[in-house]
Structure 1
Amino acid sequence: MPSQALKNRQKGLVLLISLIVLVVMTLAAIALVRSMIGSNQIANNLALRQGTTAAADIALEKARFWLVDRSQVAPTELNSASDNNGYSPTNTANPIAGNAWAGGINWVWANPQTGNAPLAQARRNEALNANGYRAAYFIQRSCSTAGQKTPNRSACDLQKMSPNEPEGNSEYQMIYKITVRIEGPKDTVTFYQATLF
C-alpha cells in the first residue's frame, strides 16, 4: 500500500498535467477559430471576384455587341466619337486615373436589363444589377487620329488576319480596346480590359 506522502504528490502531479492539457486545448480552439475566420475571408474574396468577373463579362459582351453591330450596319460611324455609346475612334493614353475614369473619358453604364443599349452616366441607379454590381465601359479604336482609315499604314494598330500570308496578300483588321470598370459591394472597384479585332 502506498504511503500518505506518495498519495499527496500524485494529486499535485495530476493537477499539473490537467492544467497543461487545458492550455493545449485552449490554444487548439483559438487556432481553429482563426482558421475558420481565414477560410471565411478567402471564400468572401472568391465570391467578390466571381461577382466582378461576371459583371465585367456582361459589360464586355454588351460593348462587343455594339461594336460588331456598328461595324456591320454602319461602319462609317466608327470613324468618329460616339459619346452616347462610350466609343472613341482614337486610343487615349490611359482611360483610368487611380480607381476612377480619367477626365474627359465618355464612358457609359452597361445596362443590366435585357438589351444592349448603354445607360448614360447620370443613370447610375439603373445600372445596379441583381447582385449589387455596376459595370461601366469605354471602347477605343487603336488609332492615333479619328477619321476613316485604310487597312494598311493608317496610323492604327492592326491585326494581320492570316499570319502565314505574304505581306502583299495580307488583310488587316482594326484593333479595339474595351475597358470595363466594376463597382461592387463594400465599395470595391475593379478594372478589366479586353482587346478585340
Structure 2
Amino acid sequence: MNSYTPFLAHFCSRRRNSGAIMLITLISMVLVMLSAMALIRSFETSQSMAGNLAFKRDLLNRAEQGATQAIALFDSGGALFDPDARLNNLPDHNYYASMLATNDRGIPGILLSGAGTRGTEDINDDDAGISIRYVIDRLCSESGEVTSSQCARSVDAGAGSAHESGKRAATYSPVYRISVRASGPRNTQVFLQTTIKR
C-alpha cells in the first residue's frame, strides 16, 4: 500500500498542474488576441489619418488653381480688368464690390453655403471627386467709388530715381480678398485665402 501512495499523489499533483497550466495558457492567448486587435485598430487609425493628411495636402495644391483662376480675372482680357467693372457686383464671376460677411475664421459665409456663387466658375475633377470654388470681394464697406473712409487700401509709395528731382506722389490701390474652398473625398475641405491689390 505504501508503494501506491507516492504514485497516486504524483498523479493527482500532475492533474492539478495541467489544469493550472491550461488556464494560464488560455488567459495568455486572450491577452495576445486583445493586443493584436488593439494593434490592428491603431494601424487602421494611423493609416486613415495619413490618408486624410494626404488628401488635405493635395486639396491645398488644387485650391491654388482656384486662386490662380480668380487672379486671372484681373489680367488683360479678364472680366475685372477694367477698374470701372469692379465698382459693382459681378455675381456671374463670383465678384462682390463690398466686403462679405464672414464666420469667426474669416471665411465668407457665401462660400460656406454655396449660395450666390456660380457653379460654372467651379473647377471640377470628377475622376478625383474634387470641386474648387472661389469668391472675390473688395474690402470696402459699400460698392461704388473707392474712398479712404470706406475701403481698405494699399499704399504704393512713389520712389524717385537719382536723376529725378523729386519723388512721385503716393497712389492708393483697393485691396481684394480671394477666398477658395476645395472639397474632396472623405468630406475633406480646405480653405485658402489671399489678398491682392489692383
TM-score normalised by length of structure 2: 0.70
| C-alpha distance 181-128 of structure 1, shift in aligned 2 (>3 A) | same
CA contact (8 A) 1:159 1:173 kept: yes
Matching residue of 1:4: 11
Deviation digits for residues 67-96 of structure 1 (CA, Å, limit 9, x no counterpart): 244599533322233333221222123441
| C-alpha distance 71-149 of structure 1, shift in aligned 2 (>3 A) | farther
Alignment counterpart, residue 81 of structure 1, candidates 62, 68, 89: 89
Deviation digits for residues 23-53 of structure 1 (CA, Å, limit 9, x no counterpart): 1111111111211221232123213312332
Whole-Å separation in 2 of the counterparts to 1:128 and 1:71: 24
Instruction: Tell me if 1:14 matches 2:21.
Output: yes
Matching residue of 1:96: 109
Whole-Å separation in 2 of the counterparts to 1:84 and 1:97: 14
TM-score normalised by length of structure 1: 0.70
Which has the larger displacement, 43-52 or 16-25?
43-52
Larger Rg belongs to: 2
Q: 5+ unaligned residues in a row in structure 2: which ranges?
A: 1-5, 103-107, 158-167
Whole-Å separation in 1 of the counterparts to 2:33 and 2:83: 70
Letter in 1 for 2:114: W
Deviation digits for residues 129-175 of structure 1 (CA, Å, limit 9, x no counterpart): 5421111211111112333336xx2521112345xxxxx96443321
State the Cα RMSD in Å: 3.2
Calculate percent identity across the aligned residue pairs: 26
Whole-Å separation in 2 of the counterparts to 1:98 and 1:63: 14
